[in-house]
Structure 1
């Protein structure tokens, strides 16, 4: 193949090409020596007259809006025979979008990316689609290689020469497409050559990529199929088996393990996904448009709250707890990089000695005073009880009189015994102390109530006026202080551990460089690769038999092929003890230690005010409860004396 070193642009001027920057199946991209803001795409083979006309037409249709979101052709490139062999386009910045939505590559490629950044990028992707559509064009071949993202979240669409273009009544088709990003309407066609693409078709692919961004690289149609046989992504799309749908069970689908559910998103976002992936969406213009997504995602960006446990975690405020903490706990995969600037460590004004001196200077409330003693010593019965006791005693003596009188009369008048007995009984009943018995019951009841009130107050005293809350907080601060003092040792231990596992870590880092997506593995095409990625298997380092067994449709044959590929990759690994620990591993340790340091500093800095508040609260509660306790003790003692006096 002839190497092109120069070409002629539209005004007849020659441009000279520099180094090859990239190579694809259709052409290569080169530097332009005279202009660093543009690059040259040169086709490997001669292109048809129709394709040449398309490129020329696109150059004429360029505008600032399109150039803001795409690598749109800005000038033609011709050879000496005046044939178009390529075009100039804006120089591309950023990285492929899959390196952002995949958690494992995001940590290295986008070390500052947070969930709000993903939302921001998704909105910009929708803006890019909207710009193309507003210009009257259709992207058509929506796929993971067509979108590039900068560290500011701006999105550029590449391979614009494959777009479907209409100009002056002439339509230039988009003749290609990857099925796993194409709508159900296209899953049965054998060629895109004669297909009229629409904005609605693009909107399906847009929804797929927004889903990939928000759901950590999971394809919306890759899940667990509960029916018989396999369910590849293309078939799932064709049969509208959206794995995350609220009605997924009716389609015999479940999301993969360790993933979000649709309910983790604001309801309007969930509704847009349902519309995009349902039978309803096949109607012309029924899928959410790019502008609808821009509005919904912009609104979502204002409904985000920060995780109280990890600064790098943010999530929709409709959720009660952080979903990322839960997913990281379940899967062991770090989803977002730690947001700590290592360079700021030396600038910290935190001084442990000063902060700790302020903490220990807080006045302790001390151990709670003992409860008042409930004593009946020196307490006299109440006046009512004294009067009733005298009456009762008098009636007790008088109650003997009828009996004595009755015996005497029986002795004097034995014949009238029945009248004498009856009269004695009547007198005895008349002198019975009914009032005293009722009062006795009342006094016993008062004692029980007084005793219950005393017990309740005693429990409240122990709970609210005790020293335990202050002691617990002080203990927590002491632990935080010890942990802070041990951070240097903790870092050294972790570095030593890295050194001891240096060979394994070098191997792991080496295997991570080989993405399954870029590999040629027999029988495993884009759809199956996307399925693997949805189940967390992205690189050679992720391949193990147990992990693959969890993926639907991957039996012994595919497992063997993947394992063989991994083994081939591993055989080329050569351990180099001179390399030492990878700087990325050390940086990860330092980020985690720095995050822990920041958290401990915040805890210790808040310690003085928290201890002061706890101490003051305990003192206030003691002052409030103590008089109640004294009164309750007195009431209990009085009730005890009263009930015993009667």
Structure 2
């Protein structure tokens, strides 16, 4: 009866296994059992043209207060730089491989075939010289004999044809890899994607400049509003001016001048019956009240600034999200692009070696 291993034995077995795990030198995400000798994931990805492991670097979402558009844009440009078209793989030189020597049987059969062809030709010529009357007969017999020897493929011819086929297959594979490399470089969607991110960055920076201007304007507008609220507490009916009674008050109210906040030279001059003296007296009354006004910058600006910051945060948020998500998308593209390039490079090395070997094998003829 088989006994179940104890927990201690399980732990020991797993520790031994972890020490046998190796990291692929070509692709850092690949892990494999060290006794296999070579990374099976690389071989599988090359054969199936699939990518099983993609490194994705997460990006922290931007908050309304901590988003730095310049820093994010530099990261976007850095991610974009990794997607630049790489240099295409090159062929190996002839000295990088050793030609496969011809089999002994092949070159011997080639020599024999050539010797037999020369012998037949020499015999026919000799017979024609000795028996010129039968020249036609000797020519026919000689041609038939030569064709019987030269027309039959020798072991050398078979070897040459085999190597020609291997060279054609290697060239076709190399051309197919070159086309795949060109497809890897061409990415029209990437440029349009970068244009959209650039437009979002420009909008964010324009909004930031507008935000700064609004902050500077806020203090001035807050003081003006606070002053108007202060003046609106004083009504024209409470003014104590000589020859200024209910009739004058009614005239002012009918034109919308009810408090000191509405007392303005332009508005007063439009009221029929308002003398220059009365206008000056009312303006002096307002100016006197303005002298009593005290601007409370701390509380007023804080309240209004909170509303201002909230309004701009709503406009910042979609632009910041677009740039942050764009950076994450570029990093995903860069990781996928790098992995595809790695797979193609491994395939290209194999194809380049095969093509160089096939050419070198043909050069021996």
TM-score category, normalised to shorter length: 0.3 to 0.5
Larger helix percent: 2
Q: Which has the larger radius of gyration?
A: 2
More strand by share: 1
Question: TM-score under structure 2 normalisation?
Answer: 0.44
Larger RCO (CA within 8 A; separation ≥ 6): 2
Normalising by the residue count of structure 1, what TM-score does the alignment of the two structures yield? 0.27
